[in-house]
Amino acid sequence: MNTDNHAKIQKSSKQDTFEHPDFYGMDSLLTEEHIMVRGAVRDFVKQEISPYIESWAQNAHFPLEMVKKFGDIGAFGPQLPTKYGCGGMDYISYGLIMQEIERGDSGMRSTASVQGSLVMYPIYKFGNEEQRHKYLPKLASGEWLGCFGLTEPDHGSNPSGMTTNFKDMGDHYLLNGAKMWISNAPHADVAVVWAKSEEGRIHGLIVERGMEGFSTPTTHGKWSLRASATGELVFDNVKVPKENLLPNKSGLGAPMMCLDSARYGIAWGAIGAAMDCYESARKYCAERIQFDKPIGSFQLQQKKLAEMLTEITKAQLLNFRLGQLFNEGKATTPQISMAKRNAVETALNIAREARQMHGGMGITGEYPMMRHMANLESVVTYEGTHDIHLLILGAEITGIPAFK
């Protein structure tokens, strides 16, 4: 991951003219605030992400300056209360923000998702007032970047098997272990880390950069999320102050609640990527001439566009209804799993079809499909793999968990 190659970053001359498909008139269900928030973030993406994203991805460059810019537009924890410097918005606004950012790039949305749903949310939900006031305003503004330490080298889909642990040393805790595949880790100022106590109970600990024995090696060689920073968290006898323990919830259910919030954002975000690929294919079909006419006049191309629009529309309806359930405090984990799984599968299928429709040009950075496709291969795996979400639904349907 090269973060020092500004000289190689080039601004695209192509203008971003994206307008979202809205075949079922979904905009009429949105409030004025929803539309205003979406418009503001869309304009931000067009100005700050679209002109540079292909170059960032080609150069495996994480643009650290984007963290402060995301803070300035309120993309971090927009659904958390204003008293902590957050947006105080509803969950549909949060979803629309994630949709627009991932339309720009999945790696950029991952940066925002992790900060808001996996770092700020647990501090707000499980922390005390002192922790909330200390960390949330700085995370909301982008002054600090955070990361979420759950996945371990040997424990991905089974986080309850984690071996990262802490011991009570009287006036502090002693933390040991390692986490892997952690978005934002190489640059994070704060990590919300999940570890087992001596009694084997999972707790959240706030670990700060600079604590002795805490390191964040960068993960190199990624073919996916190349504009996102990924790394490890290594804890070698790290002394964590006792006031850094999140006091209001323990057990595996605590990090799972964080993942529910993040998976909801992914459901909206992935459809943003799908929309970008669909719009590129629709425009290309009108411009590309073969056999003396636009390729959009051929039945197979029309079939593909019709199927893309159908799947996007279905996902829009699913996400909107899930947003209503979140606002009412009624959304369940299986409902969130269905939306995350559906959205990512839809986006991957649309990215692949759109890539084919662009022919050879589809593999280049002139168009977004290959980048989205590669990114979505991470999105389909992280925060619950495609198969695990299927099994969460299966357990809900049958009452029999298949992964225990």
- Give the model confidence (pLDDT) of 165-215 as tens digits: 999 999 999 999 999 999 999 999 999 999 999 999 999 999 999 999 999
Q: Is residue 92 part of a domain?
A: yes
- Is the domain of 182 the same as that of 260? no
- Is the domain of 163 the same as that of 186? yes
* 3-state DSSP of the chain: CCCCCHHHCCCCCCCCCCCCCCCCCHHHHCCHHHHHHHHHHHHHHHHHCCCCHHHHHHCCCCCCHHHHHHHHCCCCCCCCCHHHCCCCCCHHHHHHHHHHHHHHCHHHHHHHHHHHHHHHHHHHHHCCHHHHHHHHHHHHHCCCCEEEECCECCECCCHHHCCCEEEECCCEEEEEEEEEEEECHHHCCEEEEEEECCCCCEEEEEEECCCCCEECCECCCCCCCCCCCEEEEEEEEEEEEHHHECCCCCCCHHHHHHHHHHHHHHHHHHHHHHHHHHHHHHHHHHHCEECCEEHHHCHHHHHHHHHHHHHHHHHHHHHHHHHHHHHCCCCCHHHHHHHHHHHHHHHHHHHHHHHHHCHHHHHCCCCCHHHHHHHHHHHCCCCCCHHHHHHHHHHHHHCCCCCC
Domain that holds residue 389: 253-398
Q: Is residue 9 part of a domain?
A: no
Does pTM surpass 0.85? yes
- Is the domain of 391 the same as that of 360? yes
Q: Is residue 10 part of a domain?
A: no
pLDDT of residue 340: 97
- Is the domain of 169 the same as that of 115? no
- Is the domain of 190 the same as that of 78? no
- CATH code of the domain in which 161 resides: 2.40.110.10
- Is the domain of 195 the same as that of 242? yes
- CATH code of the domain in which 39 resides: 1.10.540.10
Q: Is residue 85 part of a domain?
A: yes
- CATH code of the domain in which 335 resides: 1.20.140.10
Q: Is residue 403 part of a domain?
A: no
Q: Is residue 1 part of a domain?
A: no
- Is the domain of 391 the same as that of 274? yes
Residues that are catalytic: 383
- Is the domain of 245 the same as that of 257? no
Final residue belonging to a domain, choices 200, 223, 251 = 251
How many folded domains does the chain comprise? 3
pLDDT of residue 289: 87
- Is the domain of 292 the same as that of 347? yes
Q: Is residue 6 part of a domain?
A: no
pLDDT of residue 5: 60
pLDDT of residue 356: 96
- Is the domain of 274 the same as that of 334? yes
- Is the domain of 233 the same as that of 274? no
- Is the domain of 265 the same as that of 369? yes
Stretches in the chain below the pLDDT threshold 70 = 1-7
pLDDT of residue 7: 59
Q: Is residue 198 part of a domain?
A: yes
